[in-house]
Structure 1
Amino acid sequence: MLFSEENYETHKRGRIEVICGSMFSGKTEELIRRLKRAKIARQKVEIFKPSIDIRYSEEEIVSHDSNSIQSTPVDSSASILLLSSGVDVVGIDEAQFFDQGIVDICNQLADQGTRVIVAGLDMDFKKVPFGPMPYLLSIADEVTKVHAICVECGHLANYSHRLIDNDKRVLLGEKGEYQPLCRTCYNKKHASQE
Structure 2
Amino acid sequence: MFNEEIFKRTNEKGGSIEVICGSMFSGKTEELMRRLNRARIAKLSVQIFKPKTDTRYDENAVVSHNMQSFPCVSIDNSASILLFYNNEQVVAIDEAQFFDADLVEVCNTLANKGVRVIVAGLDMDFKGRPFGPIPAMMAVAESVTKLHAVCVKCGNPASFSYRLAPNEEKIMLGETDHYEPRCRNCYFS
Unmatched runs of 5 consecutive residues or more in structure 1: 1-9, 189-194
CA–CA separation in structure 2 for the residues paired with 1:12 and 1:131:
29
Q: Normalized against structure 2, the TM-score is what?
A: 0.93
Report the TM-score, using the length of structure 1 for normalisation.
0.90
Amino acid at match of 2:98: F
Show the 5 A alignment for 1:8-157.
11-157=12-158
Aligned to 1:184: 185
Which amino acid in structure 2 is aligned with residue 153 of structure 1? C
Of all paired residues, the percent bearing the same amino acid is 57
What per-residue deviation string (whole Å, max 9, x for no partner) do you get for residues 47-77 of structure 1?
0000010101111100101111010000011
Cα deviations by residue, 1:71-130 (Å, 9 ceiling, x for unpaired): 000001111012113110000000000011100000000000000000000000000000
C-alpha distance in structure 1 between counterparts of 2:74 and 2:40, whole Å: 19
Consecutive aligned runs of 4 or more in structure 1 exceeding 6 Å deviation: none
Deviations 1:113-159 (A, max 9, x none): 00000000000000000011110000000000000000000000000
Q: Distance in 2 between matches of 1:159 and 1:107?
A: 28
Q: How large is the Cα RMSD of the aligned pairs?
A: 1.0
Please give the alpha-carbon distance, in whole angstroms, between the structure 1 residues aligned to 2:86 and 2:49. 14
Q: Which runs of 5+ in 2 are unaligned?
A: 1-10
Amino acid at match of 1:113: G
Distance apart, 1:42 and its partner CA: 1.3
Distance in 1, matches of 2:87 and 2:30, equals: 25
